[in-house]
Structure 1
Amino acid sequence: MMWLLSFILPIIRLYWVGVQVLLYQLFNKSFALPVLPKQNGRVAIVTGGARGMGFETARHLASLGMHVVIAGNVEEEGRAAVKSIHEEGHQGKAEFLFLDLASLKSIRQFVQRFKDRGLPLHVLVNNAGIMLVPERKTEDGFELHFGLNYLGHFLLTNLLLDSLKRSGRQKACSRIVTMSSATHYAGRLNMEDLQGRSCYCAHGAYAQSKLALVLFTYHLQEKLTAGGDHVTANAVDPGMVDTDLYQNLCSPAQAAKRPVAKMLFRTPAEGASTAIYAATASELEGVGGCYLYNGGKTQSADITYDGEKQAELWKRSCSLVGLQQA
């Protein structure tokens, strides 16, 4: 009975959050980007930047004059995204670098390749993710949602922090923008079983990974502030967006989703708007440690403000990915 509850409750919590988001989107317009300042000379990395919200983020940053590095694990998609951005004739530049967030080795290789270029780094958009996949493990043996969505971005961000710190200036901070989700409200963080091995539920695993990203963002900002670094870190909730993330829904849910998506889901461009805003807006200069939804600051789940939980997750994450705790 307990096993059944452990499996069913995360599903109920996740879909209840989804219903609330859809009701909000029914009665509220999507955030419309204001005129944003030019970003000439600034460099950004966007994970999962070849399609969906990642692509919309990358192309908009390039349109503002940024040099955008699209990081992804499908080379053909990445090359096509770069070509598309260049064909639009933006002032900025786009290029593709291979990155598999489900491999700690690939993440370290990506960071080394990027650093070998000698480029500064002003914006890191942690956008890539997977949702509701059947139980699988990463190359390093982590549960896939936790390993790719969270641990991969945790390691990537930490390995790029020195570049971000060097590139940030007073009144021109470097920015870390991490894509979370309203599903984090349904998440439960089991420090003794972060890999979901006692009872795997894809819904619970996904929600936990998005919850972990918010805790990580807040603790990271605390460390950056304590160090006097000119870097800010914010978490972003894109709302419910019509992307390929939903491809792992069961057949009945897929059938129900199609008409609902047409009416109530945001487009990828709309879903990307708050991330773009967080990466570039003058109003957010020097502002970090926020949870941003539909273009504004809002409250995340109560647990995300628990400093002890933030610190414990950070410590365990460092151990899992082989980082010395700073």
Structure 2
Amino acid sequence: MWWLLPCILGFIRLYLDGVKVLLYQLFNRSFTLPDLPKQNGKVAIVTGGTRGMGYEISRHLASLDMHVVIAGNEEQEGLAAVKKIREDLNQGKAGVMLVPERRTEDGFELHFGLNYLGHFLLTNLLLDVLKKSGKPGKCSRIVIMSSATHYGGRLTLDDLQGRMCYSAHGAYAQSKLALLLFSYHLQDELWVRGDSVTVNAVDPGMVDTALYDNLSSPAQLAKKPFAKLLFRTPAEGASTAIYAAAASELEGIGGLYLYNGRKTESSALSHDQRLQNKLWKESCALVGLQ
């Protein structure tokens, strides 16, 4: 029965983190975006930009005259999102959570592969372009969408794919912790080389999106009465990510963890440089990067 312990602990940690976030959201108003400067044709790539917070981020950045590229899995869904954004403007986050054990086409555990590893690979493939595009005073910006669930996350380097003991709760929290470890390590590397690229991580809070469709039936029932009262809307959840991508006061500033529009302290584990290095090396090996 010992193998059940990590699953139980992952479940408890995730829901305790959720309760803390809901209590905060109960007594604190959502971050309101300030007036942001026009971006004059700058390019933004938004993963998962067809629905929920990703769509709101895409729509808002496009309204700031940014050229937005929506990256997703479904072409028709992407085209529909582009059409809707154009209609909205004329009138005025790719991820999964708590899915049953599944693998990507490359054999990676779905949370780890889709939430973290895909973003790790995409960012690295774009790094040369980002470095060339960034200039002192006009840095390229990378915004990573993490979550408060990272506080309960544990990185199991010898079992990143959850083959020994799978827990949907633990896998999701691990993927969000991995994103923070990656963002901090990448920013350190960029600073050492003097590149004009900043990396910041964002926690959107608990947002009423389709991510919660995989909750168990009892959890779904428990969520419904509270969602409208306590959860953020997709637009509210997207506001801090938009702020990180476009605010003038964040020019040249990186290595932050932002929640509700403010710098927040992430977990001590996310700042473990030894763990950051190990994850980076293992991630490079998994996706075939030198």
Q: TM-score range by the shorter chain?
A: over 0.9
- Tell me what 1:196 maps to: 162
- Tell me what 2:39 maps to: 39
**Partners of 1:322 and 1:57 in 2: how far apart?**
30
**Partners of 1:157 and 1:147 in 2: how far apart?**
14
Matched, 1:285 2:251: yes
- Tell me what 1:59 maps to: 59
2:272 corresponds to which of 274, 287, 306: 306
**Partners of 2:6 and 2:234 in 1: how far apart?**
33
**Partners of 1:307 and 1:161 in 2: how far apart?**
21
Matched, 1:10 2:7: no
Deviation at 1:256, TM superposition (A): 1.0
**Partners of 2:78 and 2:223 in 1: how far apart?**
28
Deviation at 1:84, TM superposition (A): 1.0
- Tell me what 1:241 maps to: 207
Q: Secondary structure at the match of 1:192?
A: helix
1:319 corresponds to which of 281, 285, 289: 285
Deviation at 1:90, TM superposition (A): 5.8
Q: Secondary structure at the match of 1:255?
A: helix
Maintained 8 Å contact 1:235/1:290: yes
- Tell me what 1:22 maps to: 22
Q: Write out per-residue CA displacement over residues 148-175 of structure 1, whole angstroms, 9 at most, x where no aligned residue.
A: 1111000000000011111111111000
Deviation at 1:310, TM superposition (A): 0.5
Any runs of at least 4 consecutive aligned residues in structure 1 with deviations exceeding 4 A, and if so which?
A: none
Q: Secondary structure at the match of 2:3?
A: helix
**Partners of 2:247 and 2:173 in 1: how far apart?**
28
CA pair 7-89 structure 1, distance change in 2 beyond 3 A: closer
Amino acid at match of 1:69: V
Amino acid at match of 2:74: V
- Tell me what 1:122 maps to: none
Question: Unpaired runs of 5+ in structure 2?
Answer: none
1:228 corresponds to which of 194, 204, 224: 194
- Tell me what 1:100 maps to: none
Deviation at 1:77, TM superposition (A): 1.6
**Partners of 1:2 and 1:89 in 2: how far apart?**
55
Higher RCO (CA-CA < 8 Å; seq separation 6+): 2
TM-score scaled to structure 2, two decimals? Answer: 0.98
Amino acid at match of 2:44: A
Question: Unpaired runs of 5+ in structure 1?
Answer: 92-126
**Partners of 1:273 and 1:309 in 2: how far apart?**
30
Amino acid at match of 2:145: M
Maintained 8 Å contact 1:62/1:90: no
Matched residue pairs, number?
A: 289
- Tell me what 1:68 maps to: 68
Maintained 8 Å contact 1:48/1:54: yes
Q: Write out per-residue CA displacement over residues 188-229 of structure 1, whole angstroms, 9 at most, x where no aligned residue.
A: 011111111110000000000000000000000001101111
Matched, 1:250 2:216: yes
- Tell me what 1:275 maps to: 241
- Give me the CA root mean square deviation: 1.0
How many percent of aligned residue pairs carry the same amino acid? 74
TM-score scaled to structure 1, two decimals? Answer: 0.87
Deviates more, 1:221-230 or 1:2-11: 2-11
